[in-house]
Amino acid sequence: MTPKPATVIPRVRSRPVPARWQGEVEHVLFSDRQIARRVRELATEIEAEFQDRELVIVSLLNGTVMFLADLIRHLSLPLRLDFMGVSSYGAGTESGELVYTKELRLDVRGRDVLLVDDILDTGRTLHKVLAKLRALKPRRIKTCVLLDKVARRVEKVQADFVGFPIPDHFVVGYGLDYAERYRNLPFVGVLHPRMYQTGADAAVIAGRPAKKPGTRKSA
């Protein structure tokens, strides 16, 4: 048996953090141009996989907003779009009770489904959502994520289409949030640890919660 090659996390030359975000974002992981290029490639890979079959895209709210909008404009196969709202609550990253804030409305029975999420971390979210979707008897399900924190996996789940494998940093931007902020950044950046290491008082003064990322993850 040939051993599985280790996932290579590409080292990209970091672009400077735009002045407006310099206090909050430690460094840029992927610039808007790098993301745009990779998203176009992903669309090509997805089209090749599904040929011309009609697709139901199920996208997880809220983190996929930018990624999804960019991805689907490059897909020229017939598709229908629906969303599931998923939030994970619990103490620390280890507990992951999923709460559905929006249920699927389209019927996926017998359909080709592409499940889209922003980032694959422990894998708990995709694992549970996949089980829920499989129970609806689609013809097949493929998964697509923009980012994959390979080293953090707890559940045995892999995405079929991955934008970028990344190291274990808490990232924001391009749809990804910290306490609902930073979704509007056009790039993906590593959040400065001071943003979640400040004491409660400092955080209140700054108008930000002192929660460590992962204590409540809005999907």
Binding-site partner at residue 173 among ligand 5GP, Mg ion, none, CB < 5 to 8 Å by type: none
Residues engaged in binding ligand 5GP (CB under 6 A): 63, 88, 96, 117-125, 170-172, 176-178, 217, 219
Beta bridge partners of 117: 145
Q: Measured between alpha carbons, how far is 41 from 37 in angstroms, rounded to an integer?
A: 7
For residue 192, the minimal CB distance to ligand 5GP (Å) is: 13
Site string for Mg ion, 108-147 (x = CB under 5 A): ----------x-----------------------------
* Paired tokens of 79: 């598709």
Residue 63 CB, shortest distance to ligand 5GP, in Å, is: 5
User: Would you state the torsion angle of the CA atoms of residues 30, 35, 37, 38, taken in this order, to the nearest 10 degrees?
Assistant: 100
CB 111 within 8 A of CB 50: no
Name the residue type at position 88: S
Q: Which of the 8 DSSP states describes residue 173?
A: B
Among 26, 55, 63, 171, binds Mg ion (CB under 5 A): 63
Q: How far is the CB of 123 from ligand 5GP (least distance, A)?
A: 5
Q: What's the gap between Cα 144 and its chain centre?
A: 9
Q: Does 201 qualify as catalytic in the annotation? A: no
Q: Which residues would be at the binding site for Mg ion (CB under 5 A)? A: 63, 118, 219
